[in-house]
A and B are shown apart, each in its own frame.
Chain A
Amino acid sequence: KAGVTQTPRYLIKTRGQQVTLSCSPISGHRSVSWYQQTPGQGLQFLFEYFSETQRNKGNFPGRFSGRQFSNSRSEMNVSTLELGDSALYLCASSKGTGDSYEQYFGPGTRLTVT
């Protein structure tokens, strides 16, 4: 069974630009969560999508947004990039219902903002 895939793996952007990251969950998983990981702050929860609806949201500004498609693939968008947005962005998929709460992470997208 294929794992979680994220594209692109690496990205360099300039301050003020916007960026879109993509995540394809494990087949059959309907929940996709996004996290930001930095050395100083650790793993910070951005938001979770389940069946195309945002189900949970972390404490990030509105510049961070996401969506989920009918095939469960998800995208995350960051507008007006700031230097502090440089981080490893991880997505995690899970079945999202019943006792199936285990999350499986993708390899991440390393975003560098210059």
Chain B
Amino acid sequence: TQLLEQSPQFLSIQEGENLTVYCNSSSVFSSLQWYRQEPGEGPVLLVTVVTGGEVKKLKRLTFQFGDARKDSSLHITAAQPGDTGLYLCAGVIASGTYKYIFGTGTRLKVLA
């Protein structure tokens, strides 16, 4: 069974604090995607990382793909209330077709 574990599950922080969300698996992924989902809406794609060791920045968000392509992290600098939401990672396994393994999710609340 392929699993993608995210930690922490829940996070409540004050505006301006930094945080890191982790996504870990024993499987090797062709790529990994991060999504943010707000209540009652579908997940919105934030970034895709493809190469082992790759680091991508999206304003205050920094995404890193592990060297072995089994894990990833999302770091938010100076969190704002607008960052509140459910963060999901999704590993992609490409073997003829694409198989998506979704993480368990991290629910972030940023307090003003």
Contacts and interface: CB of A to CB of B under 8 A. Distances in A.
Interface of A: 4, 6, 31, 33, 35, 42-43, 45, 48, 50, 55-56, 88, 90, 92, 94, 96, 101-108, 110
Nearest to B35: A105
Interface stretch (B51-59, B62-70, B77-85, B98-106): B98-106
Name B's interface SS: strand
Contact of B33 (A48, A102, A106): A102
Given A43-B88, A102-B48, A90 B42 contact: yes
B11 interface: no
Interface residues of B, number: 23
B45 A103 contact: yes
Nearest to A43: B102
Given A43-B43, A96-B98, 8 more contacts: A45-B100, A45-B102, A56-B99, A103-B45, A105-B42, A107-B40, A108-B41, A108-B42
B103 to A, nearest CB: 8
Contacts, number: 53
Contacts of A108: 40-42
B72 to A, nearest CB: 15
Given A104-B45, A105-B44, A42 B98 contact: no
B30 interface: yes
Interface of B: 30-31, 33, 35, 40-45, 48, 88, 90, 92, 94, 97-100, 102-105
A6 B48 CA distance: 24
Nearest to B97: A55
Contacts of B98: 31, 94, 96, 101
Q: Which of A4, A102, A107 has the most CB of B within 10 A?
A: A102
20 contacts: A6-B42, A33-B100, A42-B103, A43-B88, A43-B102, A43-B105, A45-B100, A50-B97, A56-B99, A88-B40, A90-B42, A101-B30, A101-B31, A102-B45, A103-B33, A105-B35, A105-B43, A105-B44, A105-B45, A108-B40
